[in-house]
Chains A and B, each alone.
Chain A
Amino acid sequence: AQTVTQSQPEMSVQEAETVTLSCTYDTSESNYYLFWYKQPPSRQMILVIRQEAYKQQNATENRFSVNFQKAAKSFSLKISDSQLGDTAMYFCAFMKHEGYGGATNKLIFGTGTLLAVQP
């Protein structure tokens, strides 16, 4: 069974600085996807970034980038130029590629990291 571990329950960063959230996972699969979701206070969870395991290049989305180390099964999220609006719970998630169409592509989540951006 796949597991996802986020070892940092809470983190804090000053506005405009850079912060890295860690995530490790365990799987014997070779074809899978990894995600970072964020849930701001009292708001719904949104996708921040996704990474296909077969791609060697690290995914980036504006100020958000990942460091994907497949052999080490590590998937960290780097937030550059942190903004107050980045304050949120961040969840790392794994998805095994089960198939197409109606296959159940369930997400397996870590316990989350609560990030506070300080002014």
Chain B
Amino acid sequence: EAGVTQFPSHSVIEKGQTVTLRCDPISGHDNLYWYRRVMGKEIKFLLHFVKESKQDESGMPNNRFLAERTGGTYSTLKVQPAELEDSGVYFCASSLWGLPSTDTQYFGPGTRLTVL
């Protein structure tokens, strides 16, 4: 079974540019989460999809971030325009719909974003 995949693995962009990150969850996982780790700090929750619907986007930093999950499959996270403080590692995780006791979140390898 394929795990969670993320693309690209690294992205280096100039301040003001746009970047789109992609996450492919494990097949059949309805829950999809985005997290971010800024250098040296804790990993923080950004938002949660259930299928194609945003369930909770309380962790999104501001309106420069836009997440979508078309058709309830893969998800994209677009940053437009990017700022220096957006640099960090963006993780995606997916889990089955069900009880918290069983819905382990499986993480992707992350996308390292560097904004210059």
| A residues at B contact (CB < 8 Å) | 4, 33, 37, 42-47, 50, 52, 91, 93, 95, 97-98, 100-112
Q: A44-B3, A44-B4, A102-B31 are in contact. Are A95 and B43 (CB under 8 A)?
A: no
Q: A102 to B55, Cβ gap below 8 A? A: yes
B33 at the interface (CB under 8 A from A): yes
User: B65 in the interface, Cβ–Cβ < 8 Å?
Assistant: no
Interface size class on chain B is 20 to 34
Q: Which residues 41-88 of B have a CB within 8 angstroms of A?
A: 41-45, 48, 50, 55-56, 59
Judged by DSSP, the binding face of A is loop
Q: How far is the CB of A28 from chain B (nearest CB, A)?
A: 18
Q: How far is the CA of A37 from the CA of B106 in the complex (A)?
A: 10
- Complex Cα distance, B30 from A98, in Å, reads 17
Q: Assuming A37-B107, A43-B109, A107-B33, what are 9 further A-B pairs, CB within 8 angstroms? A: A33-B101, A44-B110, A91-B43, A102-B30, A105-B105, A106-B33, A106-B48, A109-B42, A109-B44
- Taking a contact as CB atoms under 8 Å apart, the answer to whether B109 and A102 are in contact is no
Contact: A104 with B108, CB < 8 Å? no
